[in-house]
Structure 1
Amino acid sequence: MGTGRAGSVESVSVKEGDSVTLNSNLTEMKDAGVINWRFENTLIAEINVTADRITVYDDFLDGRFRDRLKLDNQTGSLTITDITIEHVGLYERNINFRYTEIFLAVFARLPVPVISRVCSSLSSSSSSSSSSSSCSLVCSAVNVSHVTLSWYKGNRLLSSISASNLNISLSLPLDVEYQDENTYSCVINNPVINQTQHLNITQLCHTCSDSVHCCGPTEAVIRLVLSALVGVATVVLVVYDIKSRRAEHQAHIHTSGSIEI
């Protein structure tokens, strides 16, 4: 880094699709001379106060800034509109050779987490660890990154799981009593966004004799597929047993006939 460059880096976080303004921290520019902005060492905008000239270089860097850059002609602040993940990185502000670095973090919009019931018959470990009076649930979110998924009972955190990898799926289990009247919610969040799904115990944890209707549609399909596979396997075993017995019987007859001769 050159002389006069700051040792510390400012940090700014923004949601994907929003706009962000990187401030010059000037109230007026009459003594500024030249203000320029760089992204990853590439010049993207410049104000020459002496020449009364404003220039944006939004076609550089494969056009990722095209029609997105706006310079304030009063303060020299830089606004970037319609932010995407491509705009994540290190920006540098230079005012008369006084440098400031700003790291821009962009977070994708988050899906609302999904709460579903888990069939106890499909999870032997879950059914053995929980009593028959409890309802097993799971909160999940797919294709997320740099987020935390949490269960809350009222305002109290019960459990959480975090992910830093890109585009993965998260799930977090919870067991509640059928007659529980507390308020539960599942929250997914990153530093700038959060999405909340509230649990409706009455709707998800009703008791019924038909496990297919008790469980969600995905669990019901799994149950049907497993039942079909078990049925097919049973038929195969029966057919194999019949063929084996028949072959054994024919071999016995053949052997007996040979001895008599």
Structure 2
Amino acid sequence: MQPQLSRKHLASYITAVLLCCTCADENKEAVKAKEGATVTLQTRDTIHNINTQIVWTFGPENPNMRIATVKKREARSDYVERFRDRLQLDSLTGALTITQLRVTDSGVYMWQSISSNILSQNLHLSVYSSVTPPFITVNTSLVNMSCSSVILQCSAENTREMTLAWYRGRDRVKNISSPDLSFRLSLPLEIESHDGDNYSCVAENPVDEKATTLHTEDTCLKTGESSSWCQSEVTVRLVISAVVGMTLIILVVDHIRIRR
């Protein structure tokens, strides 16, 4: 009876130590990676003792799911179906490599080294979607009446922690971001029609960046529909001005004739 109680007490002690180790390691190392890429979660130490056991656990917030182990230099990584054929475990260092990353792989990974001493380390992995190249359009409905400027509209699919920004050369002019991923990000910019600078719209998150460059000579103010619109508008204005001028002249002449 006594040996059984001792084993129970030992098991409780080990559990308490593991919990303390987990609680003590509140500062998680942050790792960021792109969807579809490969990442290696490095450990603090090399396995010197063949009897040392390495345990990797995972969870979106709490690492309570066993996903890989090393025991007597033999690695095993087939515990969870979602990671099947995507985990590679170094039996010497205990480092864990995850291939073909998915956004759902984001979460907390805990490494534990169990021997005469118990060590643990938490790593917080954030997997981001690739950003799509932003799309630039010239909003002809917003060309101002003097045809001296034009409104450029940049848009892109919104992803986690993404920022959409306009750059004039290397200088950021304006930007926008939103935590709501249900709609596209859109950012307007008014530029002068004779501006000689180059503009680019950049979509970026912590691990990826896509840019679309626009040369001002490529805008429709110089060629195309908007230019035709401006030319037509100028012509219409000249005609209206001429008609109004002629009308005023006729009215003045009639007024003078009546006065006489």
Q: How far did residue 146 of structure 1 move?
A: 2.2
What is the Cα deviation at residue 185 of structure 1?
0.9
> What residue number does 1:3 align with?
20
Q: Please give the secondary structure, in 2, of the residue aligned with 1:206.
A: coil
Is residue 115 of structure 2 the alignment partner of residue 100 of structure 1?
no
Q: Which structure 2 residues correspond to residues 150-229 of structure 1 after superposition, within 5 A?
A: 150-207=165-222, 210-211=225-226
Tell me the TM-score normalised to structure 2 length. 0.71
Q: Does the Cα contact within 8 Å between 1:64 and 1:86 map onto a contact in 2?
A: no
Distance 1:57 1:209, change over 3 A: closer
Match among 52, 56, 62 for residue 77 of structure 2: 56
Q: What is the one-letter code of the residue matched to 1:165?
A: D
Of the three residues 23, 35, 39, the one matched with 2:58 is 39
Where 2:196 maps in the other structure, the secondary structure is: coil
Q: CA deviation at 1:22?
A: 0.5
Find the counterpart in structure 2 of residue 78 from structure 1.
Answer: 96
1:113-128 map, 5 Å: 113-120=134-141, 123=142, 127=144
State the SS of the aligned residue for 2:104: helix
Map 1:124-135 → 2, pairs under 5 A:
127=144, 132-135=147-150
Structure 2 unmatched ranges of 5 or more: 1-17, 231-260
Change (3 A) 1:212 1:71: same
Distance 1:15 1:213, change over 3 A: farther
Amino acid at match of 1:43: R
Structure 1, unaligned runs of 5 or more: 216-261
Does structure 1 retain, via aligned residues, the 8 Å contact 2:221–2:227? no
Q: Which runs of 4+ in 1 moved over 6 A?
A: 212-215
Tell me how far apart the structure 1 counterparts of residues 74 and 102 of structure 2 sit (CA, whole Å): 28
| Residues 29-66 of structure 1: CA deviation (Å, up to 9, x unaligned) | 33771111001111110111xx33221134x2xx2101
* Gap change, CA 1:74 and 1:136, over 3 Å in 2: same
2:37 corresponding residue in structure 1: 18
Aligned to 2:161: 146
| 1:156-199 deviation digits (Å, cap 9, x = unpaired) | 11100012222420111111112211121111100111111111
Classify 1:210/1:38 alpha carbon distance in 2 versus 1 (closer, same or farther; 3 Å).
closer
1:159 match: secondary structure: strand
In structure 2, the residue matched to 1:29 is: 48
User: Number of residue pairs matched?
Assistant: 204
Q: Do the aligned partners of residues 211 and 158 (structure 1) sit closer, same or farther apart at CA in structure 2, a change above 3 Å counting?
A: closer
What SS does the aligned partner of 1:3 have?
A: helix
Given the superposition, is the C-alpha separation of residues 192 and 54 from structure 1 closer, same or farther in structure 2, using an over 3 Å criterion? same
Query: How big is the alpha-carbon RMSD for the aligned residues of Structure 1 and Structure 2?
Result: 2.4
Residue type of the alignment partner of 1:84: R
User: 1:140 deviation in Å?
Assistant: 0.6
Deviation by residue 1:239-259 (Cα, 9 ceiling, x = unmatched): xxxxxxxxxxxxxxxxxxxxx
C-alpha distance in 2 between matches for 1:168 and 1:2 = 42
